[in-house]
Structure 1
Amino acid sequence: MVKLLLLSLLLPLHLCFLFFLVNSVSTQSLPPSSKLERAALLNLRASLGIKAKYWPKKHDPCTNWTGVTCSNGTLTGLNLSGLRRTRYGLRNPSFAIDSLMNCTGLISFNSSGFYLPGSIPVWLGQNLSALQVLDLRSSSVSGPIPPSIGSLDKLNVLLLSGNSITGSIPDSWSRLSLLSNLNLSVNMLTGSIPSSLSALRRIKILDLSSNSLSGPIPPELGSLSSLKRLNFSNNTLAADIPLQLANLHNLVELDLSFNDLGGEFSDNLTMNMRDIVFFDVSSNNFTGNLPDLTVFSNASGVTLNFSNNKFYGNLSSSLPNASLIDLSNNYLQGLEVNRNNTLLSTNCFRGQPDQRSLTDCNTFYVLSGLPFDEDYIAPVPPPVSRKSNKDLKYVFAGVFGGLGVIVIVVIILVLILKPCYKRSASQRSANVEPVQEEGTAIDDQNISIDLISFTDSFTYEQMLQATSGFNDANLIKHGHSGDIFSGRLEDGTEVVIKRIDMRSSRKDCYMSELVLYSKGTHTRLVPLLGHCLEHETEKLMVYKYMPNGDLSNSLYRCTDLEDDGLQSLDWITRLKIATGAAEGLAYLHHDCNPPFVHRDIQASSILLDNKYEVCLGSLSEVCAQEVDNNQNAITKLLRISSSSESTPSGSLPANCAYDVYCFGKVLLELVTGRLGISNSEDTSTKEWIDQTLSLVNNYDRDLVSKFVDQSLVIDEDLLEEVWAVAIVAKSCLNPKPAKRPQMAHVLKALENPFRVVREEDFSAEILRKNSSKTSWSTLFGNWRQSFSGSAHSQGQSQTNKDGNGGSKLSGRDNSQGSGGTG
């Protein structure tokens, strides 16, 4: 009886639990209904190289994969936007989505901002018949649009902006009867706008801006009664605006700027556009009188732009109270108009500032056969204030006093610089190239002649094609002198292109690089493949592509595609990188005449090829080293401390000691594994460097364990190398520039670091008595006494070529602790 009672009580609980379980399972996303779809997603994961943390292989795609949406076990949505590829996937990216060919239930595909170089596959419009949203914005898509896209009769949103799509707009798109949003802006489309687009009766947004479309605007587009936003700007459209566009009653935005449209602007075009908030027909060839602007009933929030045309005649005094009206750069005339929200410059108004000249206005009206306002008054310049005789006395006194000071300074400088002038003359007589002072202007003509012998010239169109129109997807980083883009030339060569905006950069920032390369190439400088200097406001430099990027993003690299694990570079590779960078700097400091200073040595300027061989980049700050004698004389005169790291003007120092200091921070970054040391000057970083250097002791190797990168797995011998490199770094980071080693000596130490720590350690008294037997460990503790017997008294190193073609110092394997040549 008791058992029956318990069963009767537990039975409802069992039923409730079963109901909850069934209900919860039915509400969750089920795995793909067929093995075919799951296999397609796994193949897509491999072909695109999606990182494992976004699409973990052992988890259900419908529930655990980012951007994957399923409905009743069927794949319905795929969003690649924001996903990142593995390093392997980034090497050969392409429009590799063929595995989706059988996912016929796909409703939405979004890859905006995801790099998909290549053309849209034809099968996409044939197989994915259920597709409603296709978003490929800024995906580096190229080639023509396949007409098969017109077969997607359920398509509602089609976004292809920000790519390199070529060809014309297919007529087959007239079958996209459900389309409401079409954006083809910022591409390379040519041809005319097809009148068949008038069949898109549900279209609300139509954006064809920033292409190369030509011909007239089809009058049939006036039948698109649902249209709210129409943008045809930045094309080469010609002829008049068709009057049929006046039927677009629901239009909110109309942008026809920067075209070749012309003719008179009819009042009928704006009569029915009462809901407009943005109206722009600027930079065309419109003429005649302005239309009646009072028709805009919602004037308080309207922006109207009629600038850069040829509108003429008197301006109506009843302008609407819009948020902005731009009428500048026309030939309007009349009385003075005072409105804070109206731009009237470069017209023919009376009493207004910044107007055209009387001759310009009169000539235009005469040639047009129009009456001109004879009472036109040219703008009057502001009156010159008159000074009293007493004020003039003070002015003259100040002028002559200032001239006296200038004369005295000039005399002092002549006395100081006279010996330097004699030395320079003797150099010229010996056919030695004189030292170029920092900041000296360089003649563009001479450079262009020299460039022919060592680099190629590219056209701007080639650069646009290589970078997909400088697409954001190709942007690597924002550099000091310009933006850095990845690109691919017509022959398939991968390159890196630096885009220098001359309006915001130093005028000679690219010239210093060209001068450096014109003096000869070196394996430790990133190869310059070419240039494009045809534009005044934009200069382009083309470099060899370095597969492993720079040191800042290669010190730790992803090696496991499954768990996205990170592994740091081993010590052998780190020492190889340090030695390669030292070779490059030694070339600049000792093999160039005059010596060059890099001035931007940090982890991000040390570029790495596929074998982790080093090439120095970021060469826009390179300049000739300042002449020491001149600098010392002026320094003594002005009482400027010679130990300062920055010049009085705040610019980067043009001396080799500054490069050595920056290189010391790179060495410390390699030893400790701490990222960002070399490119930071903040207080916390300086405090950390001082604290770390206090642990670097020439006689106590055990302290290395307190600052060495814990990810390094090294044996006893390699730990000695780490200790030696830390000692070298500390010497490079000496706060007094005069006590820092030369790069030639740093290179010797890095090529044989065991000599730094394994030579016999002498006491301080013995060192004073036996300066010729100075050990390497002591050598890096006091650089004033080091390398006193260096064979290169002029600071230049004799070089020979090793197996890799790099520049090496002769006799480095036999050199002794004193720095002799052996």
Structure 2
Amino acid sequence: MANKWYVSFFLLFMIPFSLLPKSYAQSTNQSNDEHQILLELKKHWGSSPALGRWNSTSAAHCNWQGITCTNGAVTGISLPNQTFVKPIPPSICLLKNLTRLDLSYNNFSTSFPTVLYNCSNLKYLDLSNNAFAGQLPSDLNHLSALFKHLNLSSNSFTGKIPPSIGWFPRLKSLLLDSNQFDGSYPAQNISNLVDLEVLTLAHNPFMPAPVPVEFGRLTRLTFLWLSNMNITDEIPESLSSLIDLNLLDFSSNNIQGKIPTWIWQHKKLQYLYLYDNRFTGEIEPNVTALNMVEIDVSSNELTGTIPDGFGKLTNLTLLFLYFNKLNGSIPPSIGLLPKLTDIRLFNNMLSGSLPPELEFPKSLWSVVTNQLSTVMIQNNSFSGTFPKQLPWNFTRLDISNNRFSGPIPTLAGKMKIFIAANNFLSGEIPWDLTGISQVTEFDLSRNQISGSLPMTIGVLARLNALNLSGNQISGNIPAVFGFMTVLTILDLSLNKLSGDIPKDFNNLKLNFLNLSMNQLTGEIPISLQNEAYEQSFLFNPGLCVSTNNLLHNLPICRARTNVNNDVSRRLIALFSSVGSIMLLGSAVLGIMLLRKKKHKQDHLSWKLTPFHILHFTANDILSGLCEQNWIGSGRSGKVYRVYAGDRASGGRMVAVKKIWNTPNLDDKLEKDFLAEVQILGEIRHTNIVKLLCCMSSSGAKLLVYEYMENGSLHQWLHQRERIGAPAPLDWPKRLQIAIDSARGLCYMHHDCSPPIVHRDVKSANILLDPNFRAKMADFGLARILLRAGDSESFSAIAGTFGYMAPEYGHRLKVNEKIDVYSFGVVLLELITGRVANDGGEYYCLAQWAWRQYKEYGLSVDLLDEGIRDLTHVEDVLAVFTLAVICTGGQPSARPSMKDVLRVLLQFDRTSNGGILQDDISDETALSCIID
């Protein structure tokens, strides 16, 4: 850049002065031309956050947002996040000096823009996070000047990556991840890009194949991301030549064999992600990769002990070894790592029953590790006791399902989650709880805790979930519980509590309450006398309810009555009956008049908004809304099965949902409703039921969907006899239904911009076609998240009991993780055959599954009788574990739907199971575009 400036300066002062006016005129003309070209771009793309500031009256376009100039000429355009929809126009290449173009995070949905071939100086191109679709052109190398950066990630490109991708020999970064590329990757061609420093092919449904040995030629790579692309076999030794690697990610594949020694001895590697594969064998004991910052080799089949060499990795901040078969103890040196913040070793066979010097390291609890904040070592066989006080920096500690004993330690500092369920802890809950005033989840269930509940528990003002069930706690429930207003989950069951339930419980807004199996007495607080808490008070013989309640399984409290009150009640009943008869007569007369008036209305008063090409009319739909076509009812209206149109013109069976009349719907709500229906109508995915059109009038609204012949998953699991099903669903069908449903939700969460939260995922909303392929339905509760990554607040609780995540209902702030929870419940239904809320001892299926998992582990007894075939039992139990994880109480600990789909695909034994695009129509290539 400096040399160019020097040459320009030299020429400016050495050329004859007589030529200056001509040169100046040429420069002015070029500037005017570029000014006009940019204004034409604004006119083409319309208003956006950046283009709105482009002003035709201002000549200084080099100062416009998103524009970079060099020597007065436009050399760069950077306009991400501008909601552009219209295609990239050819005129953009009239900017002859354009070298850098960034149009990422927009809504382009065309095929690859070959108009850019005319941008002869383009060196940097970023089209990521759009909705570009179709195959990449075979002549992609026409972008001949490109030598720095090509980013096409997070689009909907399909087919094979063309060999021409390897004809950019000076390219430094190539990002093709998160598309729908299938076939084999062009290993030989990509390996010709010997100057590559960044390569990403992750999250594409390639044909199963091993890591190309040719990639060993890319010796300048620093960033290699190859996760979730159906890689098989072992990591080739040829990759040991990649000595400059900073990040290596092979996660979520089917890689086998031992983790190569060269990885553990790499001199520059900082980030290693090999989780969710099939690695076996022991971890290399001689770990000398001293620059390691994060290691995640979880969810494999690794055996042996944790190498003591990990304790030498002084830069290590994260160590994830969970879901393996590791044994032995934690090396004491790991507890002394100065930067370690997060260690997760749960679901292994680790223990601390060795000699004292090798027991669970006291250094892990010491203040020396002043950075350690998260420790998750649940589901092992650790033993021993705690120190009197845990480190100040701990924010999350999960030691559940181990063999720890002794008193509860004093918790202090930043602790937010403490889970120690199913151990042998004893003694009383510490009186001084002021040190953990920020705790949000506290679980000491199934231990040997005694004594009473301390009054100081009220200092836990941020507590959201408290579980002390299955202990020996006695005494009264402190009234201070009634002032813990953010509490949504409270389980004090299976203890020895006595006395009344404090009246201050009326102040609480609990999603889950269990006080069963205690010795409580007296009247239950009024706010808790409703169906939502019907199973919350079982086996407390002294509890009672008032007469006008919905808790039918409890006795009525004795009340004082007298004759006068009895007579008064009889008179009131008499007058009410007379009044009701008079009102009924008026109502009947009014209805008759309304019907007479309604018959005069023309069908033309209905407005039809189509979202697909229709072969039927509004009259076809309206004439089918009769009782013989009624097939069900929901919270918002009735559903009809209607044959619309005639067979000659392509008529079809459709499902019509009639929304209840909403006379008080104001103009704003009407517009909001139509806007949301418009969004849902634009969704195109093979695993989401098509919304064909919307019809509205002054009195009702109709949503017309494609009809699914095999009804809902709920019917096939729980109402087989009623629908005349010949046999229960076998495991391959159930797994395919789970995968199809996960694909639909994954699309909504990860491919729509902004993402969509369904909010009512349940088996009744998963519909089946004649081949038992599943589609998500009923988006009556769906909402669009306003900004990616943000939660949205809603004014009312919605969803279905038994499927609702514990955080949903009180906070009214939701994100995609509430759908993950609900989907986990659906998985449990598929596996166990139980309904989501069976009213049994454990209140809901998710809680039952979690308790079974904790107490008895994985066994065939958990499975529905129809899928106990030993051929699939190992896979089914693995999916059961996934379901338990999905229904975890903490949203941040639940996987994303993309992660859930990856795991499910591993158990699909069909030939095309790993291909995410195996049954997706051309429509699916369209993204969810929202203006």
- Which has the larger Rg? 1
| Structure-1-length-normalised TM-score | 0.45
| Structure-2-length-normalised TM-score | 0.41
Q: Which has the higher contact order (CA 8 A, sep 6+)?
A: 1
